[in-house]
Structure 1
Amino acid sequence: MASIELRHVTKRYGHAVTAVRDVSLEIRDGEFMILLGPSGCGKSTALRMIAGLESITEGEIYVGGRLVNDVAPRDRDIAVVFQNYALYPHMTVAENLAFGLKMHGRSTAEIGPQVQRVAAMLGIEGFLARKPGALSGGQRQRVALGRALVREPVAFLLDEPLSNLDARLRADMRLELVKLHRQLGTTIIHVTHDQVEAMTMGQRICIMKDGQMIQAGAPLDVYRNPVNTFVAGFLASPPMNLLEMTLSAGPSGAPVMASGGLRLTVPDAYAQSVKPWVGKTVILGIRSEDLHEKQENAGWQPIEGDVVALEALGAEVILVLAPRGIPGKEISARLGRNFRAAIASNQRLFVDGNEIRLFDPGTTNAIARRA
């Protein structure tokens, strides 16, 4: 096992394209780290630099405290699992699993038991004589993981390994990977654009955009306290509702926010920090689960609008609402599975003000709030 550290790492292609820009990140020994972001954000390039498959333009990468900038990929003792599995089609599953060990000079007496142990761990011992073409997508994924596991590397790098699987298999494999990490305790860096994978699998997540690291932390901490509107809108489905509101001093002196027919009192946690924005615009952020059908708390404030759509998902209903007096804007609410409403009907919801977040529209950064 080993820690992995990136210090001011940059990757440029020629003079025009900067794929990764000044990224510094420490992955602790035995940690399950998620690199999350949209396509083209630089997360896979960062992973490939750690593996040694891409050169580094600037900065340093350390594995287990050793500088590896100039160390060949095979000498870094890191295993990579790719999105397309990269299995050898002419080899059996057993031969695919054994290939890396053979390349590292392991004896046949050592390889056989190791292959059997990993195959049993992944539940693929019944497929050892088959070739990849005779396997399902989920089985191929397990073989690709097994080929990495059999080497017992100091770290695993997973580049969107679940993206080719259907929804049910993805859910199953998410659980299997988490269980595997608990069993092995080996450092794992997992690249994905899937927010569900990030929230359910990682001990920490690092969100990237345009080659830069935007925010890193425990999944729930990042979810509850996004550093800017990009993180707020990216990390969740439905994304955080974002509305531009004009801030002013209310009759009692407490700041209030208003837009169209929507008027909300600013919670006490922001009473001091929003003073520079009085008379100006702020961005209000509300998570869909913080909008409620009933006013269960006297401090919850109303939001009214017209029903645009209902998405019944079985365990819950996603209500899409057009807030009254705010043309062109829609917000989403995550409600109970028994919620029903007619399209275009008026609906009143209630927001838990303690859970709202405010952002500066100029910088898009979060406005500080008292804990």
Structure 2
Amino acid sequence: MTAITLDNISRDYGCGIFGVRDVSLAIDEGEFMVLLGPSGCGKSTTLRMIAGLEVITSGRIRIGARDVTELAPRSRNVAVVFQSYALYPHMSVRENMRFGMKMRGTPLDEQDRRIADAAEILGLDPYLDRKPGALSGGQRQRVALGRAMVREPDVFLMDEPLSNLDAKLRGEMRQELVKLHRRLGKTMVFVTHDHVEAMTMGDRICIMRDGQIEQVGPPLEVYANPTNTFVAQFLASPAMNLIPARLTAAGGGLGITAGPLAGALPAREAALYARAAAEPAILGLRAEDVLTAPGPATLPVSGKVIVREALGAENLIGIETDGVTLSARTERQFLPAFGDQVTLHADMSQMHLFNAATGVAYPKGT
């Protein structure tokens, strides 16, 4: 197993345009690290810099104990799996998997052993003599993974490998990749713009924006404690509700006014966010924390239903009031009609608070 260390790496395209700017990240041995962010945020550029496919204009990269900053891609012992699969259409699955080893002069018996091992792990035995055109998208993706595996690399780099698959296959391949990672124990770096892939696959996620890192951590930790409004909104669907707010002293405690929401905060939240009193702030509430029934720490909010998505196991409801739209994730039995006036209940014990000027979160528990 091999760790990866990025030390202030940048990709400067000139004229003040950076693909990546001063990114530092330590990826542990055997870790499944997910680089997550919107298109153009620098995640694929970062991956390509690790692979040696993109020029590093400043900073250093280490893979294990080796400084690979100046090494050619073939000397880094990494395998890259691309979005497009990049299979040779005129070759069989076996020939596609063999090709790279053949070019590197790997002995034939060793080639056969590696192909057999990878095919068994990936369930490709029945397809070894087929051409890529005779395979499904999921099968082609497994061939691309097998071709990477037979190299026996120190590190696997995957650039949005599931984005060409339909929803059902994406779900299946997510599970297969997690199983593969556990079986191989190799360091893997996975690029995606899909927050579901990040949440379900990564040991840690690294959220990027405009060529820089916004937050790094275990998925559930980042979800529970987003460092700013960008992370809070990006790592969820629907995005976190963000409402301009102001906190004021009220009856020995702390009250909040945020669009249609107004009332006293629970004692714990009042103590946590006392420093934000009288400062312009942004209230953050996830959709699952807007409830259909009142609770001990809720504030009521009424509005007209303008969004209604029945998903089977749950519903997504959007209500509008005073120019503010509030999203709620509700139980499947609660499905009002468009235009209905309904009352929901914001669970303030789950609130997040951000500085209005910077978008940075006020830390919880400090």
Give, in whole Å, the separation in 2 of the partners of 1:264 and 1:205. Answer: 36
- The question of whether the paired residues in 2 share the 8 Å contact of 1:2 and 1:28 is answered with yes
Give the superposed CA RMSD. 1.4
Moved more, 21-30 or 343-352: 343-352
Q: Which amino acid aligns with 1:82?
A: F
Deviation at 1:300, TM superposition (A): 2.2
The aligned residue for residue 235 of structure 1 is 235
Q: 1:354 to 1:12 in 2, by over 3 A?
A: same
Which string of whole-angstrom CA distances, capped at 9 and with x for unpartnered residues, describes residues 176-204 of structure 1?
00000011110000000000000000000
Match of 1:299 among 267, 286, 297: 297
Give, in whole Å, the separation in 1 of the partners of 2:348 and 2:100. Answer: 56
Q: Which amino acid aligns with 1:224?
A: A
The aligned residue for residue 120 of structure 2 is 120
The aligned residue for residue 24 of structure 1 is 24
Give, in whole Å, the separation in 2 of the partners of 1:29 and 1:277. Answer: 40
- The question of whether the paired residues in 2 share the 8 Å contact of 1:270 and 1:368 is answered with no
Deviation at 1:157, TM superposition (A): 0.2
Within the alignment, does 1:367 sit opposite 2:362 as a pair? yes
Q: 1:160 to 1:52 in 2, by over 3 A?
A: same
Alignment identity in percent? 53
Q: Which amino acid aligns with 1:35?
A: L
Give, in whole Å, the separation in 2 of the partners of 1:364 and 1:32. Answer: 29
The aligned residue for residue 337 of structure 1 is 332
Give, in whole Å, the separation in 2 of the partners of 1:62 and 1:260. Answer: 49
Q: Which amino acid aligns with 1:280?
A: E
Within the alignment, does 1:254 sit opposite 2:253 as a pair? yes
Deviation at 1:273, TM superposition (A): 5.4
Alignment of 1:216-365 (within 5 A): 216-250=216-250, 252-272=251-271, 274-295=273-294, 297-322=295-320, 324=321, 326-327=322-323, 329-365=324-360
- The question of whether the paired residues in 1 share the 8 Å contact of 2:4 and 2:26 is answered with yes
Q: Which amino acid aligns with 1:185?
A: G
Give, in whole Å, the separation in 2 of the partners of 1:77 and 1:36. Answer: 24
Deviation at 1:280, TM superposition (A): 3.3
Give, in whole Å, the separation in 2 of the partners of 1:116 and 1:261. Answer: 63
Give, in whole Å, the separation in 2 of the partners of 1:264 and 1:157. Answer: 50
Please, what TM-score do these two structures have when normalized by structure 1?
A: 0.95
Give, in whole Å, the separation in 1 of the partners of 2:48 and 2:213. Answer: 16
Deviation at 1:92, TM superposition (A): 1.1
The aligned residue for residue 200 of structure 1 is 200
Give, in whole Å, the separation in 2 of the partners of 1:320 and 1:312. Answer: 12
Which string of whole-angstrom CA distances, capped at 9 and with x for unpartnered residues, describes residues 157-179 of structure 1?
00000000000000000000000
Query: SS in structure 2 opposite 1:205?
Result: strand
Structure 2 residue runs of 5 or longer lacking an equivalent are none
Which string of whole-angstrom CA distances, capped at 9 and with x for unpartnered residues, describes residues 68-119 of structure 1?
0111111111000001011112211101101121122211111112112211
Give, in whole Å, the separation in 1 of the partners of 2:65 and 2:298. Answer: 51
Moved more, 361-370 or 259-268: 259-268
Structure 1 residue runs of 5 or longer lacking an equivalent are none
Q: Which amino acid aligns with 2:317?
A: L
Moved more, 351-360 or 18-27: 351-360
Query: SS in structure 1 opposite 2:248?
Result: strand
Give, in whole Å, the separation in 2 of the partners of 1:359 and 1:259. Answer: 12
Which string of whole-angstrom CA distances, capped at 9 and with x for unpartnered residues, describes residues 222-266 of structure 1?
00100000000100101111001122211x132211144320323
Give, in whole Å, the separation in 2 of the partners of 1:103 and 1:210. Answer: 38
Deviation at 1:137, TM superposition (A): 1.1
Which string of whole-angstrom CA distances, capped at 9 and with x for unpartnered residues, describes residues 31-77 of structure 1?
00000000000000000000011111111100002110111111111
Q: Which amino acid aligns with 1:85?
A: Y
Deviation at 1:276, TM superposition (A): 4.6
Give, in whole Å, the separation in 2 of the partners of 1:100 and 1:93. Answer: 13
- The question of whether the paired residues in 1 share the 8 Å contact of 2:91 and 2:131 is answered with yes
Q: 1:330 to 1:261 in 2, by over 3 A?
A: closer
The aligned residue for residue 186 of structure 1 is 186
Aligned length: 366
Give, in whole Å, the separation in 2 of the partners of 1:266 and 1:240. Answer: 19
The aligned residue for residue 177 of structure 2 is 177
Q: Which amino acid aligns with 2:90?
A: H
Q: Which amino acid aligns with 1:354?
A: S
- The question of whether the paired residues in 2 share the 8 Å contact of 1:51 and 1:80 is answered with yes
